[in-house]
Structures are given as structure tokens and as C-alpha cells.
Amino acid sequence: MNGITIALSKGRIFEETLPLLAAAGIVPDENPDTSRKLIIQTSRPDVRVVVVRASDVPTYVQHGAADLGVAGRDVLIEHGGAGLYQPLDLNIARCRMMVAVPEGFDYAHAVRQGARLKVATKYLRIAREHFAAKGVHVDLIKLYGSMELAPLAGLADAIVDLVSTGSTLKANRLVAVEHVLDISSRLIVNQAALKLKRESLAPILDAFTAAVRP
Amino acid sequence: MNWLLPDYLADALPLEAAQIERLRRLTLDLYARHGFELVMPPLVEYLDSLLTGSGQDLMLSTCKLVDQLSGRTLGVRADMTPQVARIDAHLLNREGVVRLCYCDSILHALPADQAASREPIQLGAEIYGHRGVEADIEVIRLMAATLSTVGAPADRIDLSHVGVFRALTQAAGLTPESEARLFKLLQQKDATNLAAACADIAEPWRSAFLRLPGLYGDATTLARARRELPALPALAAALESLQRLADAMPELPLSFDLADLRGYHYHTGVVFAAFRHGFAGAVARGGRYDGGGTAFGRDRPATGFSLDLRELARLAPQLAPRAAIAAPFAEQAGSPLAGTIAKLRAAGEIVVEHLPGAAEDSRCDRRLVRNAVAGASGETDAQWIIEVINRG
């Protein structure tokens, strides 16, 4: 009942969370990239890690299946954040959410107020809010991957996607034309867990806070 | 046709229904012993009276239909609290303190989350007519007693006061838009975006807003708040009320969180929520909402709590279903068999009469049989005795 469960996704977020966990005295017994286990014990008997898809982390924490989690700001906005505290920006897994179009596409002309644009994205809520703020109508096409293909194949005029180095865009002759959001990962906490397990969660939160690099 | 129910609606089958009903009786009896009177407002009423003083949240969660008699829009209640406030302010019209309780289905247009029902059974109790903290103490104690009575005592009762945030926004002269933005960020303890949103607020208000997300914990939180927050009269009064609650109820597992303000739009004072291990939200919530009856003709102080009985029924320990006694069908009124069955039922036993040809009910662990010895001495009740069923 008083154990702590932390939800993490594998890959970059897991790797970059390890130093923060270590600061709280938590060392996972295994690495999910090499192990197929979904529940990983740690050096602390009262703490375990569950390995879930990045976009599922807020769901696990919201429903109390995990007490803590690390989730990108993109994932949190899409989830809506109900039932969650997000007290700390961990400054890890940083990238940018951008609008990209094919080379030669006149984006400035296409997004005049009252215009209509076809946009392919995995991030429906972020895209809808971004274009709504500009007063541009968008038809959103939900895709799960390879967004770069959509404008090339004639599925959409533009995409809204995460960009870290820009090399995928370049390889497919797309250009990033507009910055939407800066993304980094947040520590998220189940609201009831922070009330019920404050005594054991607070030291972990404090250790993370002290270990975050600016 | 496979008779599926709409999403987020469910039948309560016998075991669950028995548990809900047992809890309903336990809690309503508890409230009756504390002097609370039960009221039963209608399932639907005119939308405008249903939404009075409740803000946008309730508007979105209320299902609407058109009244064929009047042509006006009706709402299916998504919350009974405004209805009960209307009863106190408009119908009862009693001076002084009124204690009311209620328990009935409500309908949410959208489920609160993926695990929630759209038809919670709202159980609650409200005290009208007393402005002092004493009424808050009484309802918080009653909320704690509700949970203990059903065998699921609160592991934590979290208290806050909307006066803290309200005093700061007024002193800082925030526009309604920036107040709403700050409120949302505080609910998520989103310190990162809060810092950005507070960038152009003047000191000392800016630092005060930034401190709020960290002002949670045990009763020492209040002393910390007095040190760290600006000395505004309204803010000091709010902290003083919370201190009185802390001093009055050392028997309860109280904690404090000055940034947690659910229901801020209609609450006016102390707000509270009960939490229990193994449940990922608040089990029960409540708070003070003075003036909720103003639109109905009387400005009445009010405080109370409510919870979803369906969720409580899942959380509370389940009793094993009571075993029953099988009996032959007693066709003849006044027969010794009918008399024996009536006596057993009067003593609280479940007696199932078996219709001819029907299999014995699996809930029966005993059966009524004819006593061969007594049978010879004439027609008396002693003719029927209870025999234990051995299902080996």
C-alpha cells in the first residue's frame, strides 16, 4: 500500500531520468531496452518502475496505477492533465513542436486569417489550439507515425510534429516554418498519491528538484 | 440486437445492488441520528434553476431536453447540491439552522474520467444558516463518520480555503482571464508555467502566487503560510479558520494544501476532500458555499459534502451474502408451515419458498423439513424444523 510505483517510457526518457532517480537513491535493477520485463524492481525495496508507452504514462498516473511518472509536455497537453500534478520541469528529452511544409510551399500565404489548411499530425489538441489561436481553419488528419510523408503523398498541406535535429525533415525536402511549443519532460504525480503518500513522495520530489540541470 | 448499455452506464447486479443499498441505509440512518432531514428533489427541472450559481462546469455536464408541457428547457441534474440549496432557500423558508441530506442518481453528460460512471449515486449532507466554522467542523466530522461507518475510514482529509487565493488575486488586481489561468496552473501545481504566467505581476503578490503550490503538508503548513504569505486581512482570516479546524479535530488525519481549490467558482470558504489508499481520486468532497441560495430569494450560509455511493460501495468491505432457508411452498394461509415461515422472517431470516418443480436456491444453507416425531402429535408449528443442508 505504501510502496511507490514510477511509470517511465523506454528509450530517451528512461536514459535521461536515470541520473535523477539516482539522486533519490533509486537504481533500477534492469534496463527496459535490454530486458523484456514491464515491471522492474529497484535498489529500494519500496520503489518499482513500470515500463509503458510514452503516451500512456499520464493515463497510468491519473488512475493511480503509478504514483509518479515522467511525460513529455506534448503528451501531457494531449492527455489534458486531469487528476495530475506536474510540479517539476525535468529539462530532459528536449525538442520543439514545429509546423513543417514541403520546400517551396507558400506557408505565409496559406495561413492568412480565415484560410483553410489540411494538417497531418499525431498531436491533435496542440495543432487545433495552435491554428485556432491564429484564426485559421484546419482539417486535422490523425496519423501515428511518418508524418513527413503526408505532404509529399498529397495527404496534407502541412504537418505538426516534434523536431529535434531536423534531419528527417531535410531528408524529405520539408522545412520547419513555425515554432509551436518548446517540449521537455515533466515529473507528474497522482493527486491522491501526493496526499496519501506525502511522507515518502516528498523526499523523491526534493531530490529530483535538486538534481535538475537548468 | 445484443442489448448493450450506452458507454459509462452499468446495471447494479444483485451483489453490488445489495452492497449499495446496505451502505445507503447505514449512512442515511447515521445522518438521521445527527438531525439531518432527507429530501428528494426531482430528477429533472428547469435548466435555469438547476444551473444557478454553479458556473460553466455544471452547464457542460448537464443533459438537456425540452419540456413538452411548457416548451422550456429541462436539465437532468448533474449535481443535487443546487436543488437542495433551492429547497432550503425557497421552500422551507425556515429561520436558523437547517440540516438536509439526500441520496439519489445524477447524470453526467460526459464521464468524469475513463473509469467513472455517467450515473453516480450522489449521497450528501448540508448545513444551512450558520456562518461560523462550527458548521464546517460538523460536516467534516460527519463525512469522516460516513466513511468509518461503512468500514472504509479516510486515510487523509485534505483541507484548503478559497479565501487565500481570492485575497491574493484581489490584492494583485488580476483580470478574470489571468485569474483563471493562474487557477488552472495552481490546480496542477505546474510551477514552470506558473512562473511564466506570473512574470508581470507585481511583488509581493508574485512571490506569494509562486509559493502556493509548495504550501501543502501537515498542520505546520499553516504556520509556514503565515510566515511566507503577505499579511492581508482576508488571507489571515482564511488561515485562522483553517487553524481552528486543525485545533478542533486532532482525531482526524488532516492535511492542508493551499493551492488545491476544486469548486473555486462556487465555494466561498473552507474546502475539503477525503482520500483513501487504493483509490485514485477523492472519495468525498465538500466545502462552504455561502450565498448559494441568493438566486432563490434568500442569502443563506451553507456548507456540506457529497460522494458517489457507487464508488464507496466498491471501496467499502463487502459482506458475504446472507444465507437463506429453503422452505416448501406454503399454499394454505394459516397453516403450520406458513406460521413457521412468518416467524422466521419476523426474526430477520431470509426464507425462500420453493415453487413446485423449481431447483433449491443455491443461497440456502438450511431447509425447513417436517419433523417426523412431532408430526404424530398433531398439527403444530413444532411440525417444521430446520435442517442444515450438507452440500458435501
Query: pLDDT tens digits for B41-79?
Result: 999 999 988 887 666 678 889 999 999 999 999 999 999
A187: pLDDT strictly greater than 80? yes
Order of all β-strands in the sheet with A185-190: A39-41, A47-51, A4-8, A68-72, A185-190, A84-89
pLDDT grade for A77, boundaries at 50, 70 and 90 = very high
* Rounded Cα distance, A155 and A91, in Å: 34
B338: pLDDT strictly greater than 80? yes
Flag whether residue B113 sits within 8 Å of chain A, measured between CB atoms: yes
For residues B307 and B329, membership in a common domain is answered with no
Flag whether residue B8 sits within 8 Å of chain A, measured between CB atoms: no
pLDDT score at B251: 95
pLDDT grade for A174, boundaries at 50, 70 and 90 = very high
pLDDT score at B359: 85
Number of neighbours of residue B140 by Cβ within 10 angstroms: 26
pLDDT score at A151: 93
Assigned CATH class of A4-94+184-212: alpha beta
pLDDT score at B129: 93
A207: pLDDT strictly greater than 60? yes
pLDDT score at A2: 72
* Rounded Cα distance, A94 and B187, in Å: 25
B376: pLDDT strictly greater than 70? no
Chain A residues near any Cβ of chain B (below 8 Å): 1-2, 59, 62-65, 81-89, 186, 189-196, 198, 202
B142: pLDDT strictly greater than 70? yes
B115: pLDDT strictly greater than 70? yes
Nearest chain A residue (CA) to B253: A196
The helix-helix angle for B233-248 and B133-149 (nearest 10°) equals: 40
Residues of B in contact with A83 (CB under 8 A): 113, 280-281
B382: pLDDT strictly greater than 70? no
B40 located within any domain: yes
B377: pLDDT strictly greater than 60? no
| Predicted confidence (pLDDT) per residue in B188-241, tens digit | 999 889 999 999 899 899 999 999 999 999 999 999 999 999 999 999 999 999
ipTM entry: 0.85
Mean residue pLDDT of chain B comes to 91
B294 located within any domain: yes
The structural architecture, per CATH, of the domain A95-181 is: 3-Layer(aba) Sandwich (3.40)
Residues of A in contact with B262 (CB under 8 A): none
| Predicted confidence (pLDDT) per residue in B150-176, tens digit | 999 999 999 999 999 999 999 999 998
pLDDT score at B379: 56
Q: What phi and psi values does residue B144 have, to the nearest 5 degrees?
A: -65, -40
Comparing CB atoms, the residue among B113, B213, B281 nearest residue A87 is B213
| Predicted confidence (pLDDT) per residue in B259-314, tens digit | 998 777 788 999 999 999 989 899 999 999 998 777 777 888 999 999 999 999 99
Q: What is the mean pLDDT of residues A192-204?
A: 94
pLDDT score at B92: 80
pLDDT score at B95: 84
pLDDT score at B55: 60
pLDDT score at A144: 93
User: DSSP per residue over chain A, as a string?
Assistant: ---EEEEE-TTHHHHHHHHHHHHTT--BSS-TTT---SEEEBSSTTEEEEE--GGGHHHHHHTTS-SEEEEEHHHHHHH--TTEEEEEE---S-EEEEEEEETT--HHHHTSTT-EEEEEES-HHHHHHHHHHHT-EEEEEE-SS-TTHHHHTTS-SEEEEEESSSHHHHHTTEEEEEEEEEE-EEEEEEHHHHHHTHHHHHHHHHHHHHH---
Number of neighbours of residue B346 by Cβ within 10 angstroms: 8
For residues B57 and B23, membership in a common domain is answered with yes
Where along chain A do its domains lie? Answer: 4-94+184-212, 95-181
- Find which of B57, B189, B193 to mutate to test the A interface (most A CBs within 10 Å of its CB): B189
Comparing CB atoms, the residue among A89, A189, A196 nearest residue B156 is A196
A210: pLDDT strictly greater than 80? yes
Q: How many CA atoms lie within 13 A of B235 on its CB side?
A: 24
C-alpha A160, offset from chain centre: 14
pLDDT score at B392: 61
Residues 187-226 of chain B whose Cβ lies under 8 A from any Cβ of chain A: 188-192, 213, 216-217
B389: pLDDT strictly greater than 90? no
B55 located within any domain: yes
B105: pLDDT strictly greater than 90? yes
Residues of A in contact with B189 (CB under 8 A): 85-87, 189
Domain boundary residue, one of B294, B315, B336: B315
Q: Taking CB atoms and an 8 Å limit, are A198 and B216 in contact across chains?
A: yes
B349 located within any domain: yes
CATH number of the domain at B132, please: 3.30.930.10
Question: Which residue in this structure is represented by grid cell 436456491?
Answer: B361
Judge if A4-94+184-212 and A95-181 fold alike in CATH terms.
yes
B358 located within any domain: yes
Contact B133, B243 (CB under 8 A): no
C-alpha B90, offset from chain centre: 23
Which structural domain range is residue B280 located in?
Answer: 14-155+276-315
B378: pLDDT strictly greater than 70? no
Q: Taking CB atoms and an 8 Å limit, are A190 and B113 in contact across chains?
A: no
Q: Taking CB atoms and an 8 Å limit, are B281 and A191 in contact across chains?
A: yes
| Predicted confidence (pLDDT) per residue in A54-69, tens digit | 999 999 999 999 999 9
* Rounded Cα distance, A72 and A88, in Å: 12
Task: Report the domain count for chain B.
Answer: 2
